[in-house]
Structure 1
Amino acid sequence: MSESSRNDTAEQAEFRQYCREWLAENKPSDPPVRLPQSALEIMTEPQLEYLQAWQKSAYEAGLVGCDYPKEVGGGGRKDCQRVANAEMIAARTPFLPNVIGLGMAAPTVFYHARDELKQRLLPRLFSGEDIWCQGFSEPGAGSDLASVQTFAERKGDKWLINGHKVWTSLAHFAEWMIILLRTDKSHKYDGLSYFVVPIRSALGKGVTVRPLIKITGETGFNEVIFEDLEVDDSYRLDELGKGWQVAMTTLLHERGAGELQSPRSGGMRSKSSHQISTSTLIDLARNTRRGEGVAADDPLLRDKIMEQMIYEKGFEQNQRRNRVQALTDHPMRLALQNKLLASENAQQISELAMEIAGAGSSLYLSDENAPAGGQWPLSYMNSFGMTIAAGTSEVQRNILGERVLGMPKSK
């Protein structure tokens, strides 16, 4: 019995067995195209189509949206999404492409939208038929999110949106965006409101999406320009001026609160995906030539890999605290810890992989001699974005210190 299944309820144990059996029979074969390392770097229609087909299959089998009520398209189960996530990761299935929809939009819509909007939007979000993106950051508002200036002006029961969002992952494929807007310029926090807006149907009619090319050559990021985009007031979530409070729901889930999201790791071990973990570090060390031997013969490298394994195991054990009520009294406590540690862990693993690969770490995706198909340099470059996205590591430490530990605010 695995450690993750020891504390299963009867329902969870039955569901876990069902997931294992279904995945054993329905795990898709290797894709016909190279997949990116995460959903946030999907660049081509063939990549998206393959992954959307997988998410729809998993959703129809009951492995996605498990914990949401049936009336909004969920499975009506209790605390079973983490079971499905764990089994998908163990089976090394492809990742689910609608990661922003599942991890951020779904809980926000569920907790703050009108019933009619939930019932309309969530089933197609769970199935992956509608891809979602997040409109928070702007050229002048990133870490200071409350300074967003994209403005929504009321016109009867409509709103006209004008402004500029940036670093918008998946916007080039997204049907919908969750967006934080300024509706009152006289108040910083109380002047914010939260909407969901259709962007694909508005391309060229109030919405422009421009890809941003990263140092890796990927185009997962975008900037989105709004010019008199008209949306109905029914797309507003919660009360006018309550956007900051709604945004906190989004951010808590983005930073790891709850299990109402897709598995964030995993991936089939093939030419088309890359699993970032200490097990892959060990494989790399065993297969990287060093003189007469291999990198794994170096005692200093073995020691560093062991330290990384200890860190990873500690992180796994820390996540178990999410199931202890006494430790979840503060909504930010574990969510921010997990986000901080996970992003820095990915950076540490990638940096160590570059050291293990040695000169081979300079070879990139297009080089047939590159270790692991050149995926490690890609991981290394992408890892720096992970410690910035959803709030920098410095911001996470400040919030933990000030709001969780009660320390004085930094000056």
Structure 2
Amino acid sequence: MSTDTPAPEADTPELAAFRREVVAWLEAHRPADPGFLLPESFMEVGSDEQLAFLRAWQKQVWQAGYLGRAWPEAYGGRGRPQVEQDIANAEMARLKVPFCTNTIGLFWAGPLILAIGTEAQKQRYIRGILSADDIWCQGFSEPDNGSDLAACTTRAHRDGDHYVINGAKIWTSLGNHARYMILLARTDPQSKRYAGLSYFLVPMDTPGIETVPIKKLTGEYGFTQTFFTDARIPASCLMGREGEGWKIAMMTLTFERGASGGQAGGLSRMAVTVDDVIALAQRVKRDGRPAIEDPWVRDQLARFVIESRGDRLSTERQRIPALVSERPDAIPLSNKLRLSEHHRRLMQFALSLQGSHAARWVGDAAAPDGGLWPRSYFNAFAATIGGGPSQIQSNIVAERVLGLPKD
């Protein structure tokens, strides 16, 4: 979700009217509790009923005009100023409505296709991304290569008007539900590292593609391992030219990590915020008294509030050249690292407030808030790994912002 959002008091009369319109629509159309556990993000969607509920919600938001609002009308958007989408995003977050499940399409693949795709690709893919009719997944990570994306061994060799793909990918979020995959594969088997990689938009119903669900520590699914065995895809699935895969993958990651704008909007997860932790501290007991009365707890909460507010203000700061002229890339390149680690530490602190109750899991009647907190804590690690682990993000900031040597 974009946080580059004007405060309500800064709205022009036109934007204030639009904000009221968004709020009225969200309050009138907020879906009722479905009666089953909803995932926190697209990485936890593990059942058909969860996906159906979230797809229906995304389509409703799009049809109302509050998703893809700044994307071109020709492809299913509304062609409106980005600030209107920012306002819609902010109100969705404030009112805690469900997230839009097609995250990889809305936030990564869609912006990439709009930026460098052909006209045929834009016409073919963008509307389905917005409506959630076409769910997307990502085929970057591999079982034997960890976070070393350049060590990609999945092969794609040209055979007439097709490419034949062999290999495996892992941690494929929504892999068993997706219609398309953004895939990085090696088209030059003699190449090493960055050269010889190519980028494809792959139909997941292609014969020879198999997905196997992976059960997570939380008991949820959402991830799969994906196997390619002589899977033949049309040559038109190639994005850009052969050998440009690394460049296009890096562009994809700038969208994924929030360093580049142009995303469709909506919520990418059901955010648990510092305000929720403050409310928790008012309810749980510490030494027989509300935890929030403990000076140490109050001090820690104040630190989290300051950090959270600082992250929001940093996004506004980056729009003012005079404030970021010395290191213009510092904020966008550090966003993913700062936000994911902040959330992980916040969830860990929330657990510390609960004492032995922190061990109570979803389904335990005595679990605070139905087991939300331990589940959120374990799920928080996903964001510190996906899109580049925190260690790699720290190296990126060190090298590209601070100018430190690789060694």
TM superposition score normalised by structure 2: 0.92
1:225 aligns with 2:221: no
Match of 1:309 in 2: 305
**Separation (CA, whole Å) in 1 of partners of 2:372 and 2:332:** 28
Match of 2:243 in 1: 241
Give the alignment partner of residue 400 of structure 2, picking from 381, 387, 403: 403
Cα deviations by residue, 1:217-244 (Å, 9 ceiling, x for unpaired)? 1111110000111111111111111111
1:87 aligns with 2:84: no
The alignment partner of 1:387 has SS state of: helix
**Separation (CA, whole Å) in 1 of partners of 2:12 and 2:268:** 24
Match of 1:374 in 2: 371
| Compared CA separation, residues 171 and 50, structure 1 to 2 (3 A) | same
Give the alignment partner of residue 389 of structure 1, picking from 383, 386, 389: 386
Q: Is the 8 A contact 1:206 1:229 kept in 2?
A: yes
Give the alignment partner of residue 118 of structure 2, picking from 114, 120, 125: 114
Q: Is the 8 A contact 1:168 1:222 kept in 2?
A: yes
| Compared CA separation, residues 286 and 364, structure 1 to 2 (3 A) | same
Cα deviations by residue, 1:171-230 (Å, 9 ceiling, x for unpaired)? 11111111111111233322011111111x23xx21110111111111111100001111
What is the CA-CA distance between 1:291 and the residue it aligns to? Answer: 4.2
The alignment partner of 1:33 has SS state of: coil
Q: Is the 8 A contact 2:103 2:268 kept in 1?
A: no
What is the CA-CA distance between 1:142 and the residue it aligns to? Answer: 3.4
What is the CA-CA distance between 1:290 and the residue it aligns to? Answer: 3.3
What is the CA-CA distance between 1:367 and the residue it aligns to? Answer: 0.7
**Separation (CA, whole Å) in 1 of partners of 2:180 and 2:210:** 14
Query: Following superposition of structure 1 onto structure 2, how do residues 251-330 of structure 1 map, counting pairs within 5 Å?
Result: 251-256=253-258, 257-264=260-267, 267=270, 275-324=271-320, 327=324
Match of 1:24 in 2: 27
Give the alignment partner of residue 48 of structure 2, picking from 45, 56, 77: 45
**Separation (CA, whole Å) in 2 of partners of 1:402 and 1:351:** 29
Structure 2 residues without counterparts, runs of 5 or longer: none
Match of 1:271 in 2: none
**Separation (CA, whole Å) in 2 of partners of 1:316 and 1:84:** 16
User: Aligned residue pairs: how many?
Assistant: 399
Match of 2:354 in 1: 357
The residue identity in structure 2 corresponding to 1:162 is N
The alignment partner of 1:53 has SS state of: helix
Cα deviations by residue, 1:139-188 (Å, 9 ceiling, x for unpaired)? 13332211111110101121001110001111111111111111112333
What is the CA-CA distance between 1:384 and the residue it aligns to? Answer: 2.1
What is the CA-CA distance between 1:325 and the residue it aligns to? Answer: 5.3
1:103 aligns with 2:111: no
Match of 2:217 in 1: 215
Cα deviations by residue, 1:305-362 (Å, 9 ceiling, x for unpaired)? 1111111111111121343356499885433211011100111111101110111001
Q: Is the 8 A contact 1:82 1:259 kept in 2?
A: no
What is the CA-CA distance between 1:265 and the residue it aligns to? Answer: 6.1
**Separation (CA, whole Å) in 2 of partners of 1:266 and 1:236:** 30
| Compared CA separation, residues 101 and 265, structure 1 to 2 (3 A) | closer
Q: Is the 8 A contact 2:141 2:171 kept in 1?
A: yes
| Compared CA separation, residues 9 and 183, structure 1 to 2 (3 A) | farther
Root-mean-square deviation (CA, aligned residues, Å) is 2.1
Q: Is the 8 A contact 1:39 1:99 kept in 2?
A: yes
The alignment partner of 1:195 has SS state of: strand
**Separation (CA, whole Å) in 2 of partners of 1:71 and 1:330:** 37
**Separation (CA, whole Å) in 2 of partners of 1:101 and 1:137:** 17
1:155 aligns with 2:156: no
The residue identity in structure 1 corresponding to 2:156 is A
| Compared CA separation, residues 9 and 104, structure 1 to 2 (3 A) | farther
